[in-house]
Amino acid sequence: MVVPQDSLESSGKQWYVLKVQSNRERTIREALLKRIRVEGLSNFFGEIIIPTEKVAEKTKGGKKRVVERKLYPGYIMVNMELNDETWYLIRDTSGVGDFTGTAGRPVPMQEEEINRMLGLEAANEVEPEKVKIDFDTGDMVKIKEGAFEGFEGTIDIIDESSGKVTVLIEIFGRSTQVELDYWQAERV
């Protein structure tokens, strides 16, 4: 284990980024919290977070579900006071690679980086979720699933916020609007 040349003594808590094993962020976070409690170093630590965002996904059945996706897989943010004890606790935790920084010396995050990372979730809630739809109004499509499977028609309306498209198909000689999920149609 490499110990930084100069002392690790620092005043006050700052945010640091840890490199950790990918797909183990939650278990490593729990292990850190447990070790902090056992070692009695809670007063040196603040929050330990895994930066995530909520993303809307459409399932094949057309249902919309919100999933939490990691913004930076393999990284955890720790608010802590850096000293010899806390540095060793972090480094000796299974699954933790190292602090981000230069030459083995942990570098705290800049204020604007912290605000951007912590304020990101609020920004996502304000913006409406949009689904990327690869059709344009007027495109010819074939319906590949649902009650009108096999029918062909033209795209009339595209709603990216709901992931729906309205297709004009001909039934009994009349033009009829059919609302579908975007994945139920394919370009002809």
Q: What is the CATH number of domain 14-126?
A: 3.30.70.940
Closest by CA to 124, choosing from 41, 28, 24, 56, is: 56
pLDDT over threshold 70, residue 10: no
pLDDT at 151: 93
Where do the CATH 2.30.30.30 domains begin and end in the chain?
A: 140-187
- More confidently predicted of 90 and 114: 90
Q: Angle 84-91/25-39 helices, nearest 10 degrees?
A: 140
Where do the CATH 3.30.70.940 domains begin and end in the chain?
A: 14-126
Confidence of residue 42 (pLDDT cuts 50, 70, 90): very high
Contact 86, 42 (CB under 8 A): no
pLDDT at 104: 67
Architecture of domain 140-187: Roll (2.30)
Contact 19, 75 (CB under 8 A): yes
- More confidently predicted of 4 and 65: 65
Taking CA atoms, 158 is separated from 35, 149, 163, in Å, by 52, 19, 8
Question: What are the structure tokens assigned to 124, written together?
Answer: 């996502």
Question: What are the structure tokens assigned to 73, written together?
Answer: 């897989």
Q: What is the mean pLDDT of residues 143-153?
A: 90
**What type of residue is 167?**
V
Q: What is the mean pLDDT of residues 137-165?
A: 89
0.85 surpassed by pTM? no
